[in-house]
């Protein structure tokens, strides 16, 4: 066992007491308190620990306030980022976006921006979750259509987003042999009355998403798109008119 049981107990104790800053510091200590040969083993062990803890925490979210849940999700996102677990990090980001979107009517300051959905879509695209990327693009398309934009402006935005969505579906088709992978609801996760989503993918055919993204004009750095949706720019032009 690479990590001491006392360190694990200390980490879990901080999490249960909602001392997230202290818990994160303990996580960093457990990750990097070993030599280079032991770091990979420690990361694998902590990834399994985090997944198990996250599942239990997500099951209890209904009893907490929105603000408390957002703090928890932010903490989990940082933890999975530290352990380089892209899949779990994306699940947490998706839960956070859904939570904020479900309460933004009463708490407008928590509203999800279109750039956030776009970054999430491209993040999924970069890491091979093509079907989930398409779902995020659908969310953007729905939001754009609900706005009062000039016909020409809306057409340009929808064409750009639809193009990226179709690209994601093409990659999904190649990767899974023609069968789109669907989100699997996990009955153990129940956030805001919605089942948590667990991402899945099939490796039947390998593709290089980074090169394909570049050929389509989608620039991705460190797993997140560095380019922003034209949405805001077009809206600013619309105001000037």
pLDDT averages per 10-residue partition of the chain, 241 residues: 80 92 92 71 85 88 90 95 91 92 82 90 90 90 87 90 92 61 40 39 41 48 41 46 47
Domain assignment of residue 47, yes or no: no
Predicted confidence (pLDDT) per residue in 82-120, tens digit: 999 998 999 999 999 999 988 887 788 888 888 999 999
d(CA 4, CA 17): 20
pLDDT of residue 197: 41
Q: Output the CA torsion sign for 149, 233, 225, 99.
A: negative
Domain assignment of residue 197, yes or no: yes
Domain assignment of residue 117, yes or no: yes
d(CA 157, CA 164): 11
Domain assignment of residue 3, yes or no: no
pLDDT of residue 146: 86
Dig out the tokens for 237 from the structure: 């032009």
Domain assignment of residue 21, yes or no: no
- Contact predicate 126/117, CB 8 Å: no
d(CA 171, CA 174): 5
Dig out the tokens for 23 from the structure: 């818990």
Domain assignment of residue 189, yes or no: yes
Q: Name the average pLDDT for the chain.
A: 75
Q: What's the structural domain count of the chain?
A: 1
Predicted confidence (pLDDT) per residue in 221-237, tens digit: 433 344 444 444 444 44
Q: Please give the model's pTM, rounded to 2 decimal places.
A: 0.70
Give the domain range for residue 232.
85-240
C-alpha closest to that of 125 among 172, 174, 92, 88? 172
Pairing of strands 224-225, 184-191: unpaired
């Amino acid at each position: 066992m690479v990590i001491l049981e006392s360190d694990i107990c200390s980490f879990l104790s901080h999490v249960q007491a909602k001392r997230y800053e202290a818990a994160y510091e303990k996580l960093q200590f457990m990750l990097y308190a070993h030599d280079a040969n032991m770091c990979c083993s420690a990361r694998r062990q902590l990834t399994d620990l985090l997944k198990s803890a996250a599942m239990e925490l997500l099951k209890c979210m209904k009893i907490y306030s929105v603000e408390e849940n957002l703090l928890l999700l932010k903490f989990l996102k940082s933890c999975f980022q530290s352990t380089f677990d892209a899949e779990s990090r994306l699940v947490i980001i998706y839960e956070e976006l859904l939570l904020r979107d479900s309460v933004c009517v009463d708490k407008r300051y928590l509203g999800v921006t279109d750039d956030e959905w776009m970054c999430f879509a491209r993040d999924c695209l970069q890491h091979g979750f093509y079907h989930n990327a398409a779902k995020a693009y659908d969310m953007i398309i729905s939001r754009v259509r609900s706005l009062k934009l000039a016909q020409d402006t809306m057409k340009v935005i929808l064409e750009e987003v639809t193009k990226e969505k179709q690209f994601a579906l093409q990659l999904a088709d190649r990767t899974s042999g023609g069968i789109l992978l669907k989100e699997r609801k996990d009955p153990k996760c129940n956030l805001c009355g919605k089942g948590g989503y667990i991402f899945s993918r099939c490796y039947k055919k390998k593709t290089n998403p980074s090169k394909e993204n570049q050929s389509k004009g989608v620039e991705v750095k460190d797993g997140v798109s560095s380019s922003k949706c034209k949405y805001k720019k077009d809206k600013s032009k619309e105001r000037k008119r």
